[in-house]
Amino acid sequence: MHLKTATRTLTHEMLARPDHDELAREKFVLSLKGSLRSGLGKAPRAAFEHRVLPAFQKEYGAAPASLEDLRDPMAREPLHQMWSALSRSAQDLMWHAVGASIERAAPRMETLARKLRTSNRKLGSLMLNPSVKMPEYIGHIDVHGQPGGYEQDESADDIIAGALYESGGNLYSRGVAIGRHDSKAGCLIGYLQEHHANLRPTRILDMGCSAGGASVPYAEAFPEAEVHAIDIGAGLLRYAHARAESLRFPVHFSQRNAEETGFPDGHFDLIVSHNLFHEVSRRSGPRIFEECHRLLRPGGAVFHLDIPAQRHRFDLLDQFVGDWQTWHNAEPCWPVYVTMDARAELEAAGFPEQTIEVLDRPKVDGPGHWFLFGARKEN
Ligand SMILES: C[S@@+](CC[C@H](N)C(=O)[O-])C[C@H]1O[C@@H](n2cnc3c(N)ncnc32)[C@H](O)[C@@H]1O
């Protein structure tokens, strides 16, 4: 299946256009990040195997057994220090690189977004609700180093958070496992079409939509359906709405907390999320599962897609390297996600055991896979 709008590199009017020097900086970030995942990426394991492990075994007569055992010895290793410092710098450089062109283009983008919001030809809608509060687990945090975080909302026209999210995400995902395209929605839609063809959704909800990159493909794949997308951040939603309008797909964006959306019971046939769960807290996750159960009509389906980062998949060193996200990339909920039992959570939220699915699904456009977990509501 081919979804035109599922490409991350898709061009549309809301994108900032980097000039020659900005593009050169973006290319440098790409190659630095590429090296950090290939050659330089071997540095933590080399430090572990050649120095930390033998020293630990000598001192304690056994191999390290927990992430805590590794924390201090690895932090003292120059090879690991170099990898960690470069990884942090690459992330900062990424935001600087895309931030420069966005800052220059911001007035044009804000004017365009306002025009699209107020146009008689608009296809979807935008509903902001300032009384919706940013949850403390992402408020005041520059999640994955994004300047201003998801919360940035400086004026009634501010679109910067969404613009940064999309352009940063484009740069982040190129040349690495995700490939050149946003495979998330394409991957999940493909799964639904193959395994839940009887669903035929008429109302769809995308939770934690950010810039709306993964919301729009549902409007394309299910043209008969009314597609809704929610997020907490106003600056994300203004951008997402303008982006969808400029692509000419109808999506209804609104500012709501996925824990308590305010939509009526049984309102949706299909609920999806993409990369939401690795950023929600231990308290919030179960509430979101329960809200999905409440919002689905009998027989409706929910599917969440996220990174296949569960700890049980990896040896201790790779778990430690994954945990770098928590300590150095402002991903405070990472440990919650990587130890979450998705099946148990879905069951606790009321989904019948026999409908629960927890699986890996290959990406549509590159090596690797996504992690899917979902279920159908009892009929
Ligand atoms: C990593 S982003 C994923 C964005 C998008 N779905 C994608 O695939 O690119 C996670 C998003 O979830 C949103 N989010 C986190 N907790 C939320 C909640 N309780 N309710 C609604 N949105 C939430 C954040 O604001 C952020 O935009």
pLDDT tens figures, 109-155: 999 999 999 999 999 999 999 999 999 999 889 999 999 999 999 99
- Please give the distance of CA 275 from its chain centroid, rounded to a whole number: 3
Q: What does the alpha-carbon distance between residue 191 and residue 234 come to, in Å, rounded to a whole number?
A: 31
pLDDT tens figures, 60-81: 999 999 999 999 999 999 999 9
Q: What is the pLDDT of residue 6?
A: 53
Q: Which atom of ligand 1 is found nearest the CA of 259?
A: 19
CATH of domain 1-379: 3.40.50.150
Reported as half-sphere exposure (CB side, CA atoms, 13 A), residue 290 has a value of 8
Q: Which atom of ligand 1 is found nearest the CA of 210?
A: 27
Residue 4 pLDDT grade (very low, low, confident, very high; cuts 50, 70, 90) = low
Q: What is the pLDDT of residue 171?
A: 83
DSSP tag of 4? G
Domain range annotation of the chain: 1-379
Q: What is the pLDDT of residue 10?
A: 73
Nearest Cα residue to 357 out of 286, 303, 299: 303
How far is the centre of ligand 1, averaged over its atoms, from the C-alpha of 51 (Å)?
Answer: 40
pLDDT tens figures, 158-210: 999 999 999 898 888 763 333 445 579 999 999 999 999 999 999 999 999 99
Other Cβ atoms within 10 Å of 319 Cβ, number:
18
How far is the centre of ligand 1, averaged over its atoms, from the C-alpha of 231 (Å)?
Answer: 6
36 or 173, which is more confident?
36
Structure tokens at 272: 């999806």
Q: Residue with structure tokens 């964006």?
A: 253
Three-state SS for 368? coil
Full DSSP string of 193-226:
HHH-TT---SEEEEES-TTSTTTHHHHHH-TTSE
Full DSSP string of 84-100:
HHHHHHHHHHHHHHHHH
Ligand 1: which residues within 6 Å by Cβ? 135, 138, 150, 184, 207-210, 213-214, 230-233, 236, 257-259, 274-276, 279-280, 284
Structure tokens at 1: 């299946």
Q: What is the pLDDT of residue 183?
A: 79
DSSP tag of 122? -
Q: What is the pLDDT of residue 365?
A: 74
Average confidence (pLDDT) over 263-268: 98
Nearest CA to ligand 1 atom 5: 209
State the sign of the Cα–Cα–Cα–Cα dihedral 215, 30, 279, 290: positive
159 φ/ψ angles, rounded to the nearest 5 degrees: -125, 5
Other Cβ atoms within 10 Å of 135 Cβ, number:
17
